[in-house]
């Protein structure tokens, strides 16, 4: 019997990757290609959707040949994608209309403050489970329709289509299927997060013609068969990248949570089939939906700046030459020396959602060295995690007992220990570091019966490392109090014009 494989397309913010996984969930081969980042104005971030699709076409044969396999050995392909990035294209020609507007883009800030004051804003936020913010695709779509002459009319006639990245890729993979999955749809502000259907009220509020919206499908279930890149292979799944990481960490039971530490960090807690409305600054989002089953929901704590604070320390302050050296520098001192850094570079996300906040370094004295600053940089990631975990515990009424982690920053041993210390729970890293891709592969394989059930996936999960809390409670409380006072000092920095 020939071994069969599952392929994940991980369409990320800076690069696209195709990864081949074997039946045990082990990485067999990887092909990766970065794409160009366009910064036409301060605060604007764009991608060329056509370039991204070309990259997928180029990476597909590379990943296959590196694994030494052909498409007939591939059981399914799954997609995990950067969320909230907005793509428009012409239904007839398939050509993108303008560049894709990326999730980090803040061009909608004035629009968002106008919309916040508009009638129905409360209702739209409640229905979508999301706070009105520049982060989500709905306001972005409004902005594009407002700023491109004639576009709204063409969209109303169904000539121009909207999608997030997975919609764009599936359209191209299948030669014209216009679909999205519930996780990606739940990040637009246009979806009724309960009924999992597009909300007519929300579309009206944002001025978005419903004719341009893709059909909403479950995340796990066959979307169609590819005719390009992987011809003949079924597309078994599509999920937003953070939801894919939750799936890859096999957090299938309510109460299970993971945090992915990358440029930003995203903590998702499975809340089961129940939609939990946050009263503590978290997002209510869809975790995944298996075809024929009710959707599973998640509470999400999104932290904008974690790994990118280390990058800032490296590239802007030039105190280290590579990101991992932050740990070496931090270990030259035994504590933060009373110094705290709150990286509110573009305001604060969860649980504060303060767009007028800006970063601070507090507690500076002549005693402070670059070693203390390095510690403060790492501690900022841990304390931001603590704030999000506290909000989750308060919202869900459950106390987190273990934190599963993944992402590049898990290589930082000092940071992982400090997170265990400030959360006072064990922090566990799984044996597969590529959890985003793995989650997409798992979901796709599950859809086509390559893996019989969630239990089989769970058995592939193994603990690679564990950090146990070892901080005295008094010290932890004192430090947390200092951190909170530092956070307060970031508020109200940007004054309304």
SS3 31: strand
Q: Which CB sits closer to other proteins, 98 or 426?
A: 426
Q: Which CB sits closer to other proteins, 160 or 432?
A: 432
Q: How far apart are CA 101 and CA 94, in angstroms?
A: 17
Sign, CA dihedral 254-242-306-302, equals: negative
Task: Give the residue carrying structure tokens 């995340």.
Answer: 219
Q: In whole angstroms, how close is the CB of 173 to other proteins at the nearest point?
A: 27
Q: How far apart are CA 310 and CA 331, in angstroms?
A: 15
- Give 11's strand partners: 16, 81
Distance from CA of residue 263 to its chain's centroid?
10
Question: Which phi-psi region, left, alpha or beta, contains residue 367 (left: φ > 0; alpha: ψ -120 to 50)?
Answer: alpha
Helical axes 435-447 vs 241-248, angle rounded to 10°: 80
Q: In whole angstroms, how close is the CB of 7 to other proteins at the nearest point?
A: 18
As a dihedral over the C-alpha atoms of residue 236, residue 239, residue 243, residue 249, rounded to 10 degrees, the angle is 30
Q: CA neighbours within 13 Å on the CB side: how many for 303?
A: 28
Q: In whole angstroms, how close is the CB of 214 to other proteins at the nearest point?
A: 35
Q: In whole angstroms, how close is the CB of 467 to other proteins at the nearest point?
A: 7
Asked if the peptide bond before residue 396 counts as cis, ω within 30 degrees of 0, the response is no
Q: In whole angstroms, how close is the CB of 408 to other proteins at the nearest point?
A: 8
Rg of the Cα trace of the chain? Answer: 22
Q: Which CB sits closer to other proteins, 26 or 113?
A: 26
By CB under 8 A, name the binding residues for other proteins: 24, 26-27, 322-328, 408, 410-413, 431-433, 462-467
Count of residues in the chain: 497
Closest CA to 239 of 162, 164, 127, 172: 164
Q: In whole angstroms, how close is the CB of 216 to other proteins at the nearest point?
A: 35
Q: In whole angstroms, how close is the CB of 398 to other proteins at the nearest point?
A: 23
Annotated binding site for glycerol: 83-84, 135, 241-242
24, two tokens: 């045990």
Q: Which CB sits closer to other proteins, 242 or 435?
A: 435
Annotated binding site: 13-15, 17, 83-84, 135, 241-242, 263, 307, 311, 408
Q: Which CB sits closer to other proteins, 121 or 465?
A: 465
Closest CA to 439 of 268, 195, 233: 268
Q: Which CB sits closer to other proteins, 224 or 324?
A: 324
Q: Which CB sits closer to other proteins, 130 or 420?
A: 420
Annotated binding site for ATP: 13-15, 263, 307, 311, 408
């Amino acid at each position: 019997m020939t071994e069969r494989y599952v392929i994940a397309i991980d369409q990320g913010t800076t690069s696209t990757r195709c990864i081949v996984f074997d039946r045990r969930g082990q990485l067999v081969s990887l092909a990766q290609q970065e794409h160009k980042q366009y910064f036409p104005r301060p605060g604007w971030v764009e991608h060329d959707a056509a370039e991204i699709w070309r990259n997928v076409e180029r990476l597909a044969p590379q990943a296959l040949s590196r694994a030494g396999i052909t498409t007939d050995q591939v059981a399914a392909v799954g997609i995990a994608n950067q969320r909230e990035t907005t793509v428009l294209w012409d239904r007839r020609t398939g050509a993108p209309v303008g560049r894709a507007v990326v999730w980090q883009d803040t061009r909608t800030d004035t629009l968002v403050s106008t919309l916040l004051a508009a009638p129905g804003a409360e209702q739209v936020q409640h229905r979508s489970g999301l706070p009105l913010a520049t982060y989500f695709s709905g306001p972005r779509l409004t902005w594009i329709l407002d700023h491109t002459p004639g576009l709204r009319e063409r969209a109303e006639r169904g000539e121009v289509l909207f999608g997030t990245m997975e919609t764009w890729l599936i359209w191209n993979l299948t030669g014209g299927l216009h679909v999205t999955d519930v996780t990606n749809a739940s990040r637009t502000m246009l979806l009724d997060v309960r009924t999992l259907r597009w909300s007519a009220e929300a579309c009206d509020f944002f001025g978005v013609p419903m004719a341009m919206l893709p059909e909403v499908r479950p995340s796990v279930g066959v979307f169609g068969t590819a005719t390009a890149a992987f011809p003949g292979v079924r597309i078994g799944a599509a999920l937003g990248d953070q939801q894919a990481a939750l799936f890859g960490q096999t957090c299938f039971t309510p109460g299970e949570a993971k945090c992915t530490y990358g440029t930003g960090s995203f903590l998702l807690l499975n809340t089961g089939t129940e939609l939990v409305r946050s009263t503590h600054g978290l997002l209510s989002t869809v975790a995944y939906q298996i075809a024929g089953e009710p959707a599973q929901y998640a509470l999400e704590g999104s932290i904008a700046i974690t790994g990118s604070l280390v990058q800032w320390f490296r590239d802007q302050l030039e105190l280290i030459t590579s990101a991992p050296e932050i740990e070496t520098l931090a270990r030259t001192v035994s504590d933060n020396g009373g110094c705290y850094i709150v990286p509110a570079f573009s305001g604060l996300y969860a649980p504060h959602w303060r767009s007028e906040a800006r970063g601070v370094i507090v507690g500076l004295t002549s005693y402070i060295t670059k070693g203390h600053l390095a510690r403060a940089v790492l501690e900022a990631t841990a304390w931001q995690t603590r704030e999000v975990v506290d909000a989750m515990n308060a919202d869900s009424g459950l106390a987190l007992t273990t934190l599963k982690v993944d992402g590049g920053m898990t290589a930082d041993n000092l940071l992982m220990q400090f997170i265990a210390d400030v959360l006072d729970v064990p922090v566990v890293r799984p044996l597969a570091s590529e959890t985003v891709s793995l989650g997409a592969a798992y979901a796709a394989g599950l859809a086509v019966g390559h893996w019989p059930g969630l239990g089989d996936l769970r058995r592939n999960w193994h603990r690679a490392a564990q950090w146990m809390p070892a901080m005295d409670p008094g010290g932890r409380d004192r430090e947390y109090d200092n951190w909170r006072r530092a956070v307060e000092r970031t508020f109200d920095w940007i004054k309304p014009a």
